């Protein structure tokens, strides 16, 4: 089914110049290794091809488009896949931007934990490197004076890829939502900007959808349900004189019998040349028996570029259940468009804790990516 | 014969007088003229940046859209849109510097899918501009009122003006070499902790009656250098404030 898009992409590429169109792509290859054993982790080898461009005057275009196809080879299964990632067209209609197609939408202001960023499902097969999945949707963005209103409609519900072992089999009832009007997801994000200090943004999010990860019930048989929810969220970012950036974001999700809430407060500052970000995250949940749970997490991220080629980053997360994650990362630009990245993920804590449950999964990754 | 001699003498005296008057400009006066040389109201320029170190190079190409002039009481607005290499293509940086010097900055990274607000401290301003030998402050431009100026010399039709910052910043002093006819920067030397750390050399070209930089070369004493080559000038093209918004930044 995905191969149908390749001729269309080829046709688009032949109209080069008609719509200020560009073709670009990227090749990525890499390997990982489990730090607690001598086993290697084969990472998918990928090729991405992108066609994008503007329609009309480049400075005042009438429209814009983008299509991105990813092909990948999974060394574990020796299978190749072709996936259409993004494929959208935007029409600029006065103050409105109307975008239709497979796209990614990002709401909210915080960086590591993002309570208001709920539109797209995610591939969480590697939880520390989760990737959002573009999905078909209609998006209407109104650009006002000092504010914007972003509304989305998602007619087709698509599941996230969960972390860990996927539960399948004949004794599993996977109650994925059907493609009916009742299961259409929709929502909006209102953002306003005030002229205060070096800039102050406020946002409000409302979204009606269905969870993209299942609630698994184990009774006579295993049942996977994707509960409907209503989310209301807010976010704010203030850039202060003197270089301090303050961010906050929070959301409350009404889910039948099992509400959840998440709040994040973050500070960003350039500390002795190291761009430093700190976040405090509080998660609250209530299960079907009304038992409440609070999870407190602290995150610290430091980024430093010693020169034009080398970038260093360290990410640390600590949970009050005495578990944590440390991830050192290094990126080296070998030449224009060619980068090598070395990353490590280490988990500490007891096996019953949030991060400690992954303590046997300490991982190192080396990837090389060439973008052209 | 005597008339010719008197005419020549008069002319020479007038010229010397003018020259002497020119040499008597204070540092503040020289820099005031430099900051106020005729500039286009709007400009769209393509810039190619090549960072050279240890015989290896990295390059960046971007389009700069700019308008406004703080010396005229206007906010200075600019957008940089990266064209190459492929891993940064589509990224954009919007900066609005108000008359009081306060700066608002937004960064668009297509891979992140959202516009990020940036803060701007002295440390940020003195950080490297995308890994080059320029700092962010070098690129955005200095504010005239942030320095005291003293003329320290005049040679080869150029003023030598020493500028010292009134508040702490990444440089201890700058030494400007200003063309006495056009009042443009020919060379700037940057000092820190008593030592020369880098030198900027600028060549100009006339476009639509304006003196526009054609190449800007920043050479560090550490051995690296960054060359900015400007081309495809479109000056005084009418465009609205709608160009300096998140919407245009993401397009």
The answer to whether B102 contacts chain A (CB < 8 Å) is yes
Residue corresponding to tokens 């709608």: B242
How many whole angstroms separate alpha carbon A74 and alpha carbon A353? 31
- Give the model confidence (pLDDT) of A282-291 as tens digits: 999 987 788 8
Interface test with A, best of B53, B87, B133, B238 (most A CBs within 10 A): B87
Answer yes or no: is pLDDT of B181 > 50: yes
Report how many domains make up chain A.
1
In chain B, the domains with their CATH numbers are 25-250 (2.50.20.10)
Encoding tokens for residue B11? 């002319």
pLDDT confidence of residue A1: 42
pLDDT confidence of residue B100: 79
Q: How far is CA B52 from CA A63, A255, B49, B132, B229, in A?
A: 38, 57, 10, 9, 14
Q: Flag if A245 and B246 touch (Cβ within 8 Å).
A: no
Q: 3-class SS at A340?
A: strand
What one-character-per-residue DSSP string does A222-240 give?
EEEE--EEEEEEEEEEEE-
State how far Cα A175 lies from the chain centre. Answer: 24
Answer yes or no: is pLDDT of A221 > 70: yes
Answer yes or no: is pLDDT of B10 > 70: no
- Give the model confidence (pLDDT) of A176-208 as tens digits: 888 888 899 999 999 999 988 889 999 999 999
Chain B nearest C-alpha distance from A270 (Å): 7
pLDDT confidence of residue A251: 97
pLDDT confidence of residue B15: 54
**Closest Cα to residue A154, out of A123, A121, A130, A132?**
A121
CB-CB contact of A72 with A46 (8 Å): yes
Q: How far is CA A301 from CA A206, A313, A359, in A?
A: 29, 7, 20
Residue A320 in any domain: the answer is no
Q: Flag if B117 and A245 touch (Cβ within 8 Å).
A: yes
Q: Phi first, then psi: give them for residue A56, nearest 5 degrees.
A: 95, -155
pLDDT confidence of residue A121: 96
Q: Flag if A269 and B119 touch (Cβ within 8 Å).
A: yes
Q: Flag if B120 and A198 touch (Cβ within 8 Å).
A: yes
Contacts of A118 (CB under 8 A, 6+ apart): A107, A187, A205, A207, A209, A231, A233, A251
Residue A38 in any domain: the answer is yes
**Closest Cα to residue B205, out of B194, B216, B196, B195?**
B216
pLDDT confidence of residue A132: 94
What one-character-per-residue DSSP string does A142-177 give?
EE-SSEEEEEEEE-S--PPBPSS----STTEEEEPP
**Closest Cα to residue A46, out of A76, A25, A15, A21?**
A25
Q: How far is CA A351 from CA A306, A322, A360, B51, in A?
A: 37, 11, 9, 49
Residue corresponding to tokens 């209407």: A140
The answer to whether B59 contacts chain A (CB < 8 Å) is yes
Q: Flag if B112 and A106 touch (Cβ within 8 Å).
A: yes
Question: Among A106-110, A151-155, A211-215, A259-263, where is mean pLDDT lowest?
Answer: A211-215
What one-character-per-residue DSSP string does A239-308 give?
E-TTS-EEEEEEEEEEETT--EEEEEEEEEEEETTEEEEEEEEEEEEE-TT--EEEEEEEEEEEEE-SSS
pLDDT confidence of residue A338: 96
Question: Among A51-60, B8-17, B140-149, where is mean pLDDT lowest?
Answer: B8-17
How many whole angstroms separate alpha carbon A353 and alpha carbon A291? 18
Q: Flag if B121 and A239 touch (Cβ within 8 Å).
A: no
- Residue A220 burial (10 A CB sphere; 0-12, 13-18, 19+): exposed
Mean pLDDT, rounded, for B157-162: 96
The answer to whether B103 contacts chain A (CB < 8 Å) is yes
pTM above 0.80, yes or no: yes
* Residue A288: other Cβ atoms inside 10 A: 11
How many whole angstroms separate alpha carbon A255 and alpha carbon A269? 36
Answer yes or no: is pLDDT of A13 > 80: no
Mean pLDDT, rounded, for A246-263: 93
Residue A14 in any domain: the answer is yes
Beta-bridge partners for B3 = none
Element (H, E) at B6: helix B2-23
Residue A232 in any domain: the answer is no
Domain of A5 in residue numbering reads as 1-91
Task: Nearest by CB to B87, from A242, A309, A371: name it.
Answer: A371
Interface test with B, best of A308, A310, A312 (most B CBs within 10 A): A308
Answer yes or no: is pLDDT of A17 > 50: no
Encoding tokens for residue A183? 């299961």
Please give the mean pLDDT across all residues of chain B.
89
**Closest Cα to residue A188, out of A134, A138, A225?**
A138
- Residue A330 burial (10 A CB sphere; 0-12, 13-18, 19+): middle
How many whole angstroms separate alpha carbon B118 and alpha carbon A270? 11
pLDDT confidence of residue A273: 85
- Give the model confidence (pLDDT) of B85-110 as tens digits: 998 999 999 999 888 778 889 999 99
Residue A187 in any domain: the answer is no
Residue A6 in any domain: the answer is yes
State how far Cα A361 lies from the chain centre. Answer: 22
User: Which residues in B175-214 are b (16+ Cβ under 10 Å) and which e?
Assistant: bbbbbbebbebbbbbbbeeeeebbbbbbebeebeebbbbb
Residue A364 in any domain: the answer is no
Answer yes or no: is pLDDT of A56 > 70: yes
Contact list in A for residue B131 (CB cut-off 8 A) is: 305, 307-309
The answer to whether B37 contacts chain A (CB < 8 Å) is no
pLDDT confidence of residue A237: 97
Answer yes or no: is pLDDT of B14 > 60: no
**Closest Cα to residue B243, out of A57, A149, A192?**
A57
Encoding tokens for residue A312? 């260093």
Contact list in B for residue A372 (CB cut-off 8 A) is: 86
Q: Residue B133: closest CA among chain A residues belongs to which residue?
A: A308
CB-CB contact of B159 with B25 (8 Å): yes
Residue A110 in any domain: the answer is no
pLDDT confidence of residue A2: 47
Contact list in B for residue A240 (CB cut-off 8 A) is: 119
How many whole angstroms separate alpha carbon A362 and alpha carbon A354? 14
pLDDT confidence of residue B132: 92
Encoding tokens for residue B88? 């940064």
CB-CB contact of A230 with A254 (8 Å): yes
User: Which residues in A1-38 are b (16+ Cβ under 10 Å) and which e?
Assistant: eeeebeeebeebeeeeeebebbebbbebebebbeeeee
Q: Flag if A339 and B117 touch (Cβ within 8 Å).
A: no
Mean pLDDT, rounded, for A154-170: 79
Local confidence band at B22 (pLDDT 50, 70, 90 cut-offs): low
| Residue scoring higher pLDDT (B227 or A3) | B227
Task: Count residue pairs from A and B with Cβ separation < 8 A.
Answer: 102
- Give the model confidence (pLDDT) of A314-369 as tens digits: 999 999 999 999 999 999 999 999 999 999 999 999 988 888 888 888 999 999 99
Give percent of chain B with pLDDT exceeding 90: 65
């Amino acid at each position: 089914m995905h191969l149908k898009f390749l001729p269309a992409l080829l046709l688009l590429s032949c109209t080069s110049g008609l719509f200020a169109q560009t073709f670009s792509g990227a090749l990525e290859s890499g390997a990982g290794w489990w730090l607690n054993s001598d086993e290697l982790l084969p990472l998918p080898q990928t090729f991405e091809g992108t066609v994008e461009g503007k329609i009309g005057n480049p400075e005042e275009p009438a429209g814009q488009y983008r299509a991105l196809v990813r092909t990948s080879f999974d060394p574990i299964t020796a299978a190749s896949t072709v996936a259409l990632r993004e494929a959208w067209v935007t029409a600029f209609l006065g103050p409105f931007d109307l975008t239709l197609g497979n796209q990614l939408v990002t709401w909210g202001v915080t960086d590591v934990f993002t309570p208001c960023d709920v539109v797209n499902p995610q591939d969480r097969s590697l939880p520390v490197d989760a990737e959002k999945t573009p999905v078909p949707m209609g998006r209407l963005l109104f650009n006002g004076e000092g504010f914007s209103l972003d509304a989305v409609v998602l007619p087709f519900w698509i599941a996230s890829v969960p972390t860990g072992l996927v539960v399948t089999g004949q004794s599993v009832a996977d109650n994925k939502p059907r493609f009916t009007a009742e299961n259409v997801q929709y929502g909006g994000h209102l953002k306003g900007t005030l002229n205060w200090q070096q800039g102050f943004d406020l946002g409000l999010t409302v979204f009606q959808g269905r969870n993209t990860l299942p609630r698994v019930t184990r009774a006579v048989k295993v049942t996977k349900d994707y509960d409907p929810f209503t989310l209301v969220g807010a976010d704010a970012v203030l850039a202060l004189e003197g270089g301090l950036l303050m961010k906050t974001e929070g959301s409350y999700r009404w889910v039948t019998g099992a509400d959840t809430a998440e709040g994040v407060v973050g500070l960003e500052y350039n500390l002795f040349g190291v761009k430093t970000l700190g976040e405090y995250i509080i998660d609250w949940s209530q299960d079907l028996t009304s038992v409440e749970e609070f999870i407190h997490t602290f995150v610290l991220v430091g980024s430093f570029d010693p020169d034009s080629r080398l970038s260093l980053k360290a990410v640390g997360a600590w949970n009050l259940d005495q578990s944590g994650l440390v991830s050192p990362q290094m990126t080296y630009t070998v030449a224009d468009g060619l980068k090598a990245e070395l990353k490590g993920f280490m988990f500490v804590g007891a096996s019953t804790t949030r991060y400690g449950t992954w303590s046997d999964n300490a991982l190192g990754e080396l990837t090389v990516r060439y973008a052209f | 014969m005597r008339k010719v001699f008197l005419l020549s003498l008069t002319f020479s005296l007038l010229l010397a007088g003018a020259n002497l008057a020119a040499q008597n400009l204070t540092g503040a006066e020289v820099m005031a003229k430099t900051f106020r040389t005729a500039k286009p109201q709007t400009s769209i320029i393509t810039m190619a940046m090549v960072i050279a170190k240890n015989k290896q190079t990295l390059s960046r190409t971007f389009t700069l859209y700019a308008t406004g002039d703080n010396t005229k009481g206007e906010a200075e607005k600019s957008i940089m849109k990266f064209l190459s290499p492929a891993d940064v293509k589509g990224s954009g940086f919007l900066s609005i510097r108000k008359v009081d010097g306060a700066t608002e900055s937004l960064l668009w990274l297509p891979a992140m899918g959202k516009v990020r607000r940036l803060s701007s401290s002295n440390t940020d301003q003195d950080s490297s501009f995308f890994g080059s030998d320029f700092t962010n402050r070098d690129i955005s431009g200095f504010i005239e009122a942030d320095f005291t100026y003293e003329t320290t010399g005049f040679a080869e039709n150029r003023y030598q003006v020493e500028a010292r910052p009134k508040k702490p910043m990444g440089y201890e002093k700058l030494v400007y070499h200003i063309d006495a006819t056009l009042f443009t920067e020919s060379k700037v030397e940057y000092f820190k902790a008593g030592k020369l750390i880098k030198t900027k050399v600028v060549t100009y070209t006339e476009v639509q009656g304006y003196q526009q930089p054609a190449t800007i070369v920043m050479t560090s004493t550490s051995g690296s250098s960054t060359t900015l080559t400007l081309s495809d000038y479109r000056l005084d093209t009418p465009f609205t404030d709608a160009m300096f918004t998140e919407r245009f930044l993401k397009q």
